[in-house]
C-alpha cells in the first residue's frame, strides 16, 4: 500500500511537470507569435543595419509597436551584448520594472528576472553578473555616470521615451554627446512615440531618424458639451454608460491624475456597476507608480470571455505601458505635474490640464487593435483654448538642485553653458545654486565644497543627504538614517476606506507630538522591537511592504555611510535629533502666526499643518517648525513637520534669519555657523583621507 502511494505520488508529480512543460511550451509559442506580429518585427533587419552604420539614431514608432520590449532583444541577438551590456532607460520606475518582467518572459523562451534580463531603480537592483539587458530609470544611469563617466559597462544605450522629456533624460542627452565623442564603440538609440524627433536628431549632429510604419485604427473622439464639475464623477458616469451600451469584447482605459482619484474612481465604479441590473461582469484595475509590483502586472492579464476589463491609470498608460484590448478611452484631461515654485525654491505637485499632444496620445490608445472611441471629459473649446500644444519639458519647470549638484560633481562648472536640448530658465538655475549654497554644498563662488561632493554620493535629494550630515554632527546619524529611509518609501500609514476612524486612532498611538519625523522613527523602532512581523503591521494599520522597503533602503544607506567611514553615532535623546532636523531643513521653516496658522519664513505665505500631522491638534503650538514638503490644495499645507528652536534655525542659516528674527545675536551666530561648516568639512577631509590610507593598505 505504501509503495502504491509512493508511486502514485511520483506519477502525479511527473504528470504535473509534463503538463507544466506543455503549458510553458504553449505559452512560449504564443509569446513568439505575439512578438512576430509587432510592427517593429517587420523592420528588424533595417533597424539593425541602421544601428550598425550609425553611432546615434532616432527611432520613432507608435506606442505599442514594440520599441521598448523588442529593440534590446534584437540587439542582443545581433551580438551587441558580447562586449558590454545593453542598457535601456525609462523615465518611470513602473515602466522599467514592468517592461523588464515582460522581456524576461520573452527572452530565450523565458528566463528568471535578474539573470540575463534585469532592472535597476533607486534602492532596488535586480541585475547580476549574467545580465545582458538592463532596464533602468534614467536617474540610475545618470548616477552611474558619477562613477563611470564614460558609461564603460554599456555597448548600447537605448534612451527610451525621449518624447517625455524627463529632467534626467535631458541631462543625459548633454552628457552622452560628450561620451560618444570619446567612445566610438558606444551606440546610442533614442526612441520617441511622437513625430517631433528632428530636435533629437539635430542635437546629435543630424543623426538619422527611422519611422516604424504604424498600424492604427481610427478613433472617434467625443468632447463633453459643458465643463465638468467633478471629473471623477463624470468619468464614473461615462464608464457606466459605456459598460451598459458598448459590446464585448472591448476594454476601457480611464485616465486620472494620481493614486487618490484613481482609488476613488475604482470604488465608485464598482459600487455603481454592482447596482445595475444584470451587468456584464467587470474587472476594475488601478495602475499608478506607488502600486505594488504584483498588482501592476495584473493590468496585462487579458479579461476572461464575457468580462470587461477597466483599467484606471495615471499618464503612465499614455505611452510607457501598452495594454492590449483597449477599445474605449475615458480621459479626465488632467495630469499632475511637478512644478517649481521659484519663490519658495522648491517643487510642488500641481494638478494641471494635460497638453493637446498628451490627450491625443491618450485617445490613440483606443485604436491599437480595432477602431475605438475616446470620451473626453472637457469641452472642445477647452481643448483649443486651455490646453498647451505640448508638455513643457521637466527641465524648464522643476527644481534643479539635484541636477546642479550632480553636474558640479561631474566637473561641469558653468551650468549655464552645459549643452541642454532646451536650457532651463536662468532664474531656476540660479535659485537652485542658491539652495545648494544654503546647504553648504557650494561655496560663495559656486564651486563644489567637499560637503557637496559627499552629499552627491547619496542617491537622495540634497535636503535628505544634508540630514545625514547634520545627524552625524549632532550624534544621531543612525536615527537620521532611519528617518531618511522612512521618508524614501511610500507612506507607511494605511487608511483603508470604511475604517478611517480605527486607522486614525492606531496612527495616533505612534505620535510624537512635537515631530512627524520622530513619529516615523518611532514607528520603525517599534516595528523592529516587535520582530518586524506582518501581523503587527496589520494590527497597527501600518504597511508591511513599506516597512520592509524602508529597512532595505536603510541597509543600503548604512552601507554607504560605512564605506565613507562616517561616524555612526546614535543617541536616544530626541531633542538632539530634532536639532539635526532643524539644522538640515532650516530653509524650509515657518513661524506661528495664530492658532494652527503659520507663515512661511522665506515666502511670507500663510500655511497650515496637514491634518495627518502628529502636530496637528496636538495643542503644542510650537513657535517655529520645519517641514519636509509643502502640499498645495485650497491652501498651502506643510507635511511632515518638526518643532524647532529658533536659535537652531539662526545658527544653521544666518544668511536667512539673523537680521530679521534674532538681530542681536546675529554676528556671533554667523561666526558660529562658519565654524560649524569648517568642522564638517574637516571631518569629511579626515574621513576621506582615512579611506585613502585604507585603500592603500
Ligand atoms: P512600445 O515601446 O513601442 O510602446 P512595447 O515594446 O512596450 O511597445 O510593447 C509591445 C507589446 O508588448 C505590446 O503589445 C504590449 O501589450 C506588450 N507588453 C508590454 N509589456 C507587457 C507586459 N508586462 N505583459 C504583457 N504584455 C506586454
Ligand atoms: Mg515603450
Cα(322) to centroid(ligand 1), Å: 5
Cα(302) to centroid(ligand 1), Å: 13
Cα(367) to centroid(ligand 1), Å: 15
> Would the pLDDT of 27 be above 90?
no
Instruction: Determine which helix (DSSP H) or strand (DSSP E) holds 10, and give its type and residue range.
Output: helix 2-36
Cα(259) to centroid(ligand 2), Å: 22
The Cα-based distances of 650 to 625, 654, 667 in angstroms read 13, 5, 11
Q: What distance in Å separates the CA atoms of residue 484 and residue 474, rounded to the nearest whole number?
A: 16
- Strands (DSSP E) contained in 552-685 are 589-594, 597-600, 606-609, 624-632, 636-644
Cα(269) to centroid(ligand 2), Å: 29
Q: What distance in Å separates the CA atoms of residue 562 and residue 550, rounded to the nearest whole number?
A: 18
Q: What distance in Å separates the CA atoms of residue 18 and residue 576, rounded to the nearest whole number?
A: 63
Which atom of ligand 1 approaches the CA of 98 most closely? 23
Cα(210) to centroid(ligand 2), Å: 15
Burial of residue 539 (number of CB atoms within 10 Å: 0-12, 13-18, 19+): exposed
Q: What distance in Å separates the CA atoms of residue 328 and residue 128, rounded to the nearest whole number?
A: 40
Which of 530, 562, 528 shows the shortest CA–CA distance to 548?
A: 528
Cα(435) to centroid(ligand 1), Å: 41
Which of 520, 550, 539 shows the shortest CA–CA distance to 614?
A: 520
* pLDDT tens digit sequence for 237-292: 999 999 999 888 899 999 999 888 999 999 999 999 999 888 889 999 999 988 87
| pLDDT score, position 620 | 61
Query: pLDDT over 90 for what percent of the chain?
Result: 62
Which atom of ligand 1 approaches the CA of 212 most closely? 3
Q: What distance in Å separates the CA atoms of residue 334 and residue 258, rounded to the nearest whole number?
A: 10
| pLDDT score, position 17 | 65
Q: What distance in Å separates the CA atoms of residue 175 and residue 138, rounded to the nearest whole number?
A: 12
What is the average per-residue pLDDT within 62-86? 96
| List of residues 6+ apart from 215 with CB closer than 8 A | 39, 62, 65
Q: Spell out which residues line ligand 1, taking CB within 6 angstroms.
A: 38, 61, 63-70, 98-99, 101-102, 300, 322, 324
Cα(67) to centroid(ligand 2), Å: 6
* pLDDT tens digit sequence for 508-523: 999 999 999 999 999 9
Whether 395 contacts 132, CB under 8 Å: no
Q: What distance in Å separates the CA atoms of residue 558 and residue 565, rounded to the nearest whole number?
A: 10
| List of residues 6+ apart from 326 with CB closer than 8 A | 251, 252, 253, 311, 365, 366, 368, 372
Continuous H helices in 229-346: 231-245, 259-274, 293-297
Query: pLDDT over 70 for what percent of the chain?
Result: 90
**209-211 and 56-60 beta bridge pairing:** parallel
For ligand 1, pick from 69, 89, 92, 95 the residue to mutate: most ligand atoms within 8 Å of CB. 69
* pLDDT tens digit sequence for 570-580: 998 999 999 99
**346-353 and 372-376 beta bridge pairing:** unpaired
What residues form DSSP beta bridges with 58?
190, 209
Q: What distance in Å separates the CA atoms of residue 593 and residue 598, rounded to the nearest whole number?
A: 5
CA–chain centroid gap for 287, Å, is: 14
* pLDDT tens digit sequence for 170-211: 999 999 999 999 999 999 999 998 777 899 999 999 999 999
Higher pLDDT, 252 or 495: 252
* pLDDT tens digit sequence for 331-358: 999 998 877 766 555 667 778 899 999 9
What is the average per-residue pLDDT within 538-564? 94
The Cα-based distances of 411 to 247, 355, 520 in angstroms read 60, 36, 37
Q: What distance in Å separates the CA atoms of residue 345 and residue 176, rounded to the nearest whole number?
A: 29
Residue 509 φ then ψ, to 5°: -65, -20
Q: What distance in Å separates the CA atoms of residue 252 and residue 250, rounded to the nearest whole number?
A: 7
Q: What is the DSSP letter of 64?
A: T
> Would the pLDDT of 369 be above 90?
no
Alpha carbon nearest to ligand 1 atom 27, residue: 102
Ligand nearest to the CA of 212: 1
Which of 547, 626, 522 shows the shortest CA–CA distance to 580?
A: 626
Ligand nearest to the CA of 99: 1
Question: In the structure, what pLDDT confidence band is assigned to residue 674 with cuts at 50, 70 and 90?
Answer: low
What residues form DSSP beta bridges with 15?
none
Question: In the structure, what pLDDT confidence band is assigned to residue 683 with cuts at 50, 70 and 90?
Answer: low
Ligand nearest to the CA of 320: 2
Q: What distance in Å separates the CA atoms of residue 629 and residue 612, rounded to the nearest whole number?
A: 13
Q: N- to C-terminal Cα distance for the chain?
A: 68
> Would the pLDDT of 690 be above 60?
no
- Strands (DSSP E) contained in 145-250 are 154-159, 187-192, 209-211, 219-222
Residue 609 φ then ψ, to 5°: -90, 140
Alpha carbon nearest to ligand 1 atom 23, residue: 102
Q: What distance in Å separates the CA atoms of residue 517 and residue 581, rounded to the nearest whole number?
A: 8
What is the average per-residue pLDDT within 650-662? 66
Torsion sign, CA atoms 612, 614, 617, 621: negative
State the average pLDDT for the chain: 88
Alpha carbon nearest to ligand 1 atom 22, residue: 102
Alpha carbon nearest to ligand 1 atom 15, residue: 322
What is the average per-residue pLDDT within 406-417? 90
Which of 97, 95, 67, 72 shows the shortest CA–CA distance to 85?
A: 72
Whether 424 contacts 397, CB under 8 Å: no
Which of 357, 69, 321, 367 shows the shortest CA–CA distance to 215?
A: 367
Q: What's the angle, vertex CA 377, arms to CA 375 and CA 380, rounded to 5? A: 90
For ligand 1, pick from 322, 367, 369 the residue to mutate: most ligand atoms within 8 Å of CB. 322
Ligand nearest to the CA of 67: 1
Ligand nearest to the CA of 299: 1
Q: What distance in Å separates the CA atoms of residue 227 and residue 243, rounded to the nearest whole number?
A: 23
> Would the pLDDT of 691 be above 60?
no
Alpha carbon nearest to ligand 1 atom 6, residue: 66
Question: In the structure, what pLDDT confidence band is assigned to residue 686 with cuts at 50, 70 and 90?
Answer: low
Higher pLDDT, 5 or 362: 362
Whether 264 contacts 290, CB under 8 Å: no
| List of residues 6+ apart from 490 with CB closer than 8 A | 290, 543, 545, 546, 549
Continuous H helices in 78-166: 93-106, 138-147
Higher pLDDT, 604 or 184: 184
Which atom of ligand 1 approaches the CA of 99 most closely? 20
Alpha carbon nearest to ligand 1 atom 5, residue: 66
Q: What distance in Å separates the CA atoms of residue 201 and residue 385, rounded to the nearest whole number?
A: 31
3-state DSSP helix/strand/coil percent for the chain, to nearest 5?
50, 20, 35
Continuous H helices in 530-645: 534-539, 544-563, 574-584
Ligand nearest to the CA of 59: 1
| pLDDT score, position 508 | 93
As for the ipTM of the complex, it is 0.98
The Cα-based distances of 64 to 43, 48, 192, 327, 433 in angstroms read 15, 19, 12, 14, 40
Whether 598 contacts 606, CB under 8 Å: yes
Whether 11 contacts 19, CB under 8 Å: no
Q: Give buried/exposed letters for 355-382 (b at 16+ CB in 10 A, else e).
A: bbbbbbbbbbbbbbbeebbbbbbbbeeb
For ligand 1, pick from 71, 102, 287 the residue to mutate: most ligand atoms within 8 Å of CB. 102
Q: What distance in Å separates the CA atoms of residue 617 and residue 598, rounded to the nearest whole number?
A: 14
Amino acid at each position: 500500500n505504501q509503495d502504491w502511494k509512493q508511486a502514485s505520488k511520483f506519477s502525479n508529480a511527473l504528470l504535473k511537470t509534463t503538463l507544466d512543460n506543455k503549458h510553458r511550451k504553449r505559452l512560449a509559442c504564443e509569446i513568439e507569435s505575439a512578438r512576430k506580429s509587432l510592427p517593429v518585427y517587420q523592420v528588424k533587419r533595417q533597424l539593425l543595419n541602421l544601428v550598425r552604420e550609425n553611432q546615434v539614431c532616432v527611432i520613432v514608432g507608435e506606442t505599442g509597436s514594440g520599441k521598448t520590449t523588442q529593440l534590446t532583444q534584437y540587439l542582443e541577438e545581433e551580438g551587441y551584448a558580447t562586449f558590454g551590456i545593453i542598457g535601456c532607460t525609462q523615465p518611470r520606475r513602473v515602466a522599467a520594472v514592468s517592461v523588464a518582467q515582460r522581456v524576461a518572459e520573452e527572452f530565450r523562451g523565458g528566463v528568471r528576472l535578474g539573470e540575463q534580463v534585469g532592472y535597476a531603480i533607486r534602492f532596488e537592483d535586480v541585475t547580476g553578473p549574467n545580465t545582458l539587458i538592463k532596464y533602468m530609470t534614467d536617474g540610475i544611469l545618470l548616477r552611474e555616470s558619477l562613477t563611470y563617466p564614460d558609461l564603460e559597462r554599456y555597448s548600447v544605450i537605448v534612451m527610451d521615451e525621449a518624447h517625455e522629456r524627463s529632467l534626467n533624460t535631458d541631462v543625459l542627452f548633454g552628457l552622452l554627446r560628450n561620451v560618444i565623442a570619446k567612445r566610438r564603440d558606444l551606440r546610442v538609440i533614442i526612441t520617441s512615440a511622437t513625430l517631433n524627433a528632428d530636435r533629437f536628431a539635430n542635437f546629435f549632429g543630424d543623426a538619422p531618424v527611422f519611422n516604424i510604419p504604424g498600424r492604427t485604427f481610427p478613433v472617434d473622439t467625443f468632447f463633453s458639451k459643458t465643463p465638468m464639475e467633478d471629473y471623477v464623477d463624470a468619468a464614473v458616469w461615462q464608464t457606466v454608460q459605456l459598460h451598459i451600451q458598448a459590446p464585448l469584447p472591448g476594454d476601457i482605459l480611464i485616465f486620472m491624475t494620481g493614486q487618490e482619484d484613481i482609488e476613488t474612481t475604482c470604488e465608485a465604479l464598482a459600487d455603481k456597476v454592482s447596482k445595475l441590473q444584470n451587468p456584464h461582469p467587470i474587472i476594475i484595475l488601478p495602475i499608478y507608480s506607488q502600486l505594488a509590483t504584483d498588482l501592476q502586472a495584473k493590468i496585462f492579464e487579458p479579461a476572461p470571455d464575457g468580462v470587461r476589463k477597466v483599467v484606471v491609470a495615471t499618464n503612465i498608460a499614455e505611452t510607457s505601458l501598452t495594454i492590449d484590448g483597449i477599445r474605449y478611452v475615458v480621459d479626465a484631461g488632467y495630469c499632475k505635474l511637478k512644478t517649481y515654485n521659484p519663490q519658495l525654491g522648491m517643487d510642488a505637485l500641481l494638478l494641471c490640464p494635460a497638453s493637446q499632444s498628451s490627450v491625443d496620445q491618450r485617445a490613440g490608445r483606443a485604436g491599437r487593435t480595432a477602431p475605438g472611441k475616446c470620451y473626453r471629459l472637457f469641452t472642445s473649446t477647452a481643448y483649443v483654448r486651455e490646453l498647451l500644444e505640448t508638455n513643457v519639458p521637466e527641465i524648464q519647470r522643476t527644481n534643479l538642485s539635484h541636477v546642479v549638484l550632480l553636474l558640479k560633481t561631474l566637473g561641469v562648472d558653468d551650468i549655464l553653458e552645459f549643452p541642454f536640448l532646451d536650457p532651463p530658465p536662468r532664474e531656476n538655475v540660479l535659485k537652485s545654486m542658491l539652495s545648494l549654497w544654503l546647504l553648504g554644498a557650494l561655496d560663495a563662488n559656486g564651486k563644489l565644497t567637499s560637503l557637496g561632493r559627499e552629499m552627491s554620493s547619496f542617491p537622495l535629494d540634497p535636503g535628505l543627504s544634508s540630514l545625514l550630515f547634520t545627524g552625524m554632527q549632532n550624534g544621531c546619524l543612525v536615527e537620521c538614517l532611519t528617518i531618511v529611509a522612512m521618508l524614501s518609501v511610500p507612506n507607511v500609514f494605511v487608511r483603508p476606506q470604511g475604517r478611517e476612524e480605527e486607522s486614525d486612532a492606531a496612527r495616533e498611538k505612534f505620535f510624537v507630538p512635537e515631530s512627524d519625523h520622530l513619529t516615523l522613527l518611532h514607528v520603525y523602532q517599534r516595528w523592529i522591537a516587535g520582530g518586524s512581523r506582518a501581523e503587527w503591521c496589520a494590527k497597527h494599520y501600518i504597511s508591511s511592504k513599506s516597512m520592509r522597503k524602508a529597512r532595505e533602503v536603510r541597509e543600503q544607506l548604512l552601507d554607504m555611510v560605512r564605506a565613507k567611514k562616517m561616524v555612526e553615532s546614535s543617541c536616544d535623546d530626541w531633542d538632539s535629533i530634532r536639532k539635526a532636523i532643524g539644522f538640515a531643513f532650516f530653509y524650509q521653516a515657518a513661524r506661528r502666526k495664530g492658532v494652527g496658522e503659520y507663515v512661511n519664513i522665506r515666502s511670507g505665505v500663510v500655511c497650515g499643518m496637514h491634518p495627518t500631522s502628529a502636530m496637528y491638534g496636538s495643542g503644542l503650538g510650537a513657535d517655529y517648525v520645519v517641514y519636509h514638503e509643502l502640499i498645495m490644495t485650497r491652501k498651502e499645507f506643510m507635511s511632515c513637520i518638526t518643532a524647532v528652536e529658533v536659535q537652531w534655525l539662526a545658527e544653521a542659516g544666518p544668511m536667512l534669519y539673523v537680521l530679521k528674527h534674532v538681530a542681536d545675536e546675529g554676528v556671533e551666530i554667523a561666526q558660529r555657523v562658519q565654524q560649524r561648516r569648517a568642522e564638517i568639512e574637516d571631518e569629511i577631509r579626515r574621513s576621506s583621507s582615512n579611506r585613502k590610507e585604507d585603500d592603500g593598505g
